[in-house]
Structure 1
């Protein structure tokens, strides 16, 4: 069939792929997909094998231009060359430079050169993967604008996660400033982007009834999340610190958190109450390193779904609605509980491994007492209180804080 500009333009798609050869240029085909997409293709032989090479899309590439490209490819093939292979090799040669500033590659470099020195680097990378990699990962970092950033942050706020939006803004600002300092970009797209939502200090503390519901809900989770959540309530420690606990860190009735895993880079000892010891003694040993693991090679993950299951189990067991709470609120609940049991602030702060308030500044420098005995007494009393709540022994409970 002799193709003309008019016949090509009027060609309509069918339910099957159409390949129409051009009578004036042997080897050139006009391709019409069932979707309506049109394009050009040239066929030739190389090394005794039939080869196909895409020339371009129609109408971006006209009939006359397609014929010329086809003739060039056929001439190269007649010389023993492989034009399709040459195009592929040329693209491969350019790819490293072309991909150099792709956001996913910039983030990899950022994590290696900068964020790896931050103890929370894994959290930063996880947030990038969760919130922006699907949207921007394949984009050149130069193409990301302030409006792009605001759209993403607004979307996170709209789904009900304003704190996450604020954290992502801070991490992106660090990333773009770092990239600017390394001359990857000239302008930080975060300039002028304010925190998308106001933050209020959290003061959520579980009530006695909620503590009972939470503890019982952990039974429904089983290993590893049920024991992790119970240990968080009994010890008042941070989620990552408990979740990444190793058996080597436990020595009898004491858990020693090494500097490398401690948020403030100080070694931290946590006395283990009898209830905490019994909880740990009942756990399976998988792989022999991590206390909470399903593979034996890495700590457990997937806390978002586990928390959703806790919320569901608590709601099913309660006659009244339960206000939302986070796993970090367990830490505040434990601290408030020990304070309500009349243990002084400096002891509670020592348990939480805080460098603030009464353990800050000059006092923190000169007072090196670790309050080991006081911490043990407070954690033992708190564990007894929780146990009495769960076992529903009201006669033995001294109510704290009016709860």
Structure 2
């Protein structure tokens, strides 16, 4: 069998095997056992002649002849690849790798098949599918109405919205951030996680950034600890929350009377759906998602009551919100859609409204304009007026602070906020202090009305006169 120092030029010049001859082979003088095979049709392939393990993966046993002499184990040929699909350089490299595997007792063909299977499995184990497994096993469970974690729905929402799905950035000139949903879980890096965290920081949502890191860290720890998806390390391992985000500081921002008046004016200019949704945030002391995802079936307008199931709350019980006059009027003024159940929507009720990042920018802009107009009307320099930054959740804190200022007891105020208290755990029921909560929210509604629509100077506010309150700026 001829042996040559094969070259690409020589390979291209090789003629097809003569008619009637199935094929011929030429051995490479550089790598022992490497041959180029040429068929009658002119097809050229690289093969390796070596002693391969048997089909069952075991090395062939030693054989002996009738006189007890060891018989040589016949080598076999295995296809490396077709010339053109791979180069001569690639064929030599692969042949050397195969020879090394054979020296370790491994069948290269089997090992390559296993590597391909693992790669296919890796690609099928996307970040999205792994998160869905995690939510089903640890966070939500089989019954969405009874999540395994108290904040299960919030964890699920954050992982899906911030990490899995693409995010459209409302800021001019800022590109869309692609979600990690279809990325193999083993391909998610520290840099990918930090992009999500940095995005939250850029929006001014520092507390959210801390929460997002905690949620995704818990997910990756679950995957690594359970040796799932071939994941050996978490991309969150070397992310120090305090260093990259900063110390988690409890926010204290509350809106002043002037800011509340500007807020009310701004929400009027914004119109539906964001304007009334923002007003309901302030009037009910609830969270953004709880308001934005309100369906009509939760409203009992005849009783002036809004009943939110536990599945939508960060708690184990349904939450009932007495609707004050302002809250009732806000809801009553809205159009009822026929396409779906949602009150605040841009899809005829089919889906709840989203895009509050952009809406918040509009709110801030309109509030600042309102504050400047008020300053100008009172003879002050509007150019000196600024609006101190605040996040949506600060509206909830503002309402809670005002409730205390109105003399509402801590127990009632915390129930309005949907905070279950330890001293009430044993006797807590869904309608605890409902009358007191209704009175408190009505009191807050009246106080807010006085702030946003102040009476003439010669009229004394009934709220201030009766409650002895002259300043609600918090």
Equivalent residues in 2 for 1:3-402, closer than 5 Å:
62=87, 64=88, 96-116=120-140, 117=147, 118-120=152-154, 121-129=156-164, 134=178, 137=181, 139-144=183-188, 149=193, 153=197, 157=201, 161-184=205-228, 185-195=231-241, 196=244, 197-251=246-300, 252=302, 253-287=304-338, 289-295=341-347, 296-319=349-372, 320-355=385-420, 359-361=421-423, 363-366=424-427, 370-393=432-455, 395-396=460-461, 398=464, 399-401=470-472
Deviation (angstroms), 1:23: 8.2
SS across alignment from 2:328: helix
SS across alignment from 1:211: helix
Larger displacement relative to structure 2 (181-190 or 376-385): 181-190
With the length of structure 2 as denominator, give the TM-score of the two structures.
0.61
SS across alignment from 1:269: strand
- The structure-2 alpha-carbon separation of the partners of 1:162 and 1:380, relative to structure 1 and needing over 3 Å to count, comes to closer
State the Cα RMSD in Å: 3.6
Q: 1:151 & 1:248 partners in 2: Cα distance?
A: 39
Kept in 2, the 8 Å contact 1:341–1:400? The answer is no
Deviation (angstroms), 1:209: 0.6
Q: 1:232 & 1:212 partners in 2: Cα distance?
A: 15
- The structure-2 alpha-carbon separation of the partners of 1:164 and 1:5, relative to structure 1 and needing over 3 Å to count, comes to farther
Larger displacement relative to structure 2 (222-231 or 141-150): 141-150
Deviation (angstroms), 1:189: 3.5
Listed as ranges, the gaps of 5+ residues in structure 2 are 1-6, 16-40, 42-81, 93-114, 141-146, 168-176, 373-384, 465-469
- The structure-2 alpha-carbon separation of the partners of 1:219 and 1:401, relative to structure 1 and needing over 3 Å to count, comes to closer
The residue aligned with 1:35 is none
- The structure-2 alpha-carbon separation of the partners of 1:236 and 1:400, relative to structure 1 and needing over 3 Å to count, comes to farther
SS across alignment from 1:283: coil
Q: 1:188 & 1:152 partners in 2: Cα distance?
A: 16
Deviation (angstroms), 1:100: 2.8
With the length of structure 1 as denominator, give the TM-score of the two structures.
0.71
Deviation (angstroms), 1:107: 2.7
Q: Deviations over 1:270-325 (max 9, x none)?
A: 11111111111110111252222222222111111111110111122222101011
- The structure-2 alpha-carbon separation of the partners of 1:150 and 1:306, relative to structure 1 and needing over 3 Å to count, comes to closer
Deviation (angstroms), 1:101: 3.3
SS across alignment from 2:307: strand
Kept in 2, the 8 Å contact 1:25–1:67? The answer is no
Q: 2:268 & 2:351 partners in 1: Cα distance?
A: 23
Larger displacement relative to structure 2 (152-161 or 301-310): 152-161
- The structure-2 alpha-carbon separation of the partners of 1:274 and 1:151, relative to structure 1 and needing over 3 Å to count, comes to closer
Kept in 2, the 8 Å contact 1:244–1:290? The answer is yes
- The structure-2 alpha-carbon separation of the partners of 1:179 and 1:148, relative to structure 1 and needing over 3 Å to count, comes to same
Q: 2:394 & 2:433 partners in 1: Cα distance?
A: 24
Kept in 1, the 8 Å contact 2:294–2:343? The answer is yes
Kept in 2, the 8 Å contact 1:101–1:140? The answer is yes
The residue aligned with 1:47 is none
Kept in 1, the 8 Å contact 2:285–2:399? The answer is yes
Q: 2:313 & 2:134 partners in 1: Cα distance?
A: 23
Q: How many residues are aligned here?
A: 330
Q: 1:205 & 1:54 partners in 2: Cα distance?
A: 73
Kept in 1, the 8 Å contact 2:255–2:473? The answer is no
Q: 1:95 & 1:188 partners in 2: Cα distance?
A: 19
- The structure-2 alpha-carbon separation of the partners of 1:351 and 1:135, relative to structure 1 and needing over 3 Å to count, comes to closer
Kept in 2, the 8 Å contact 1:111–1:125? The answer is no
- The structure-2 alpha-carbon separation of the partners of 1:159 and 1:284, relative to structure 1 and needing over 3 Å to count, comes to closer
Kept in 2, the 8 Å contact 1:55–1:66? The answer is no
Deviation (angstroms), 1:164: 3.5
Deviation (angstroms), 1:142: 3.3
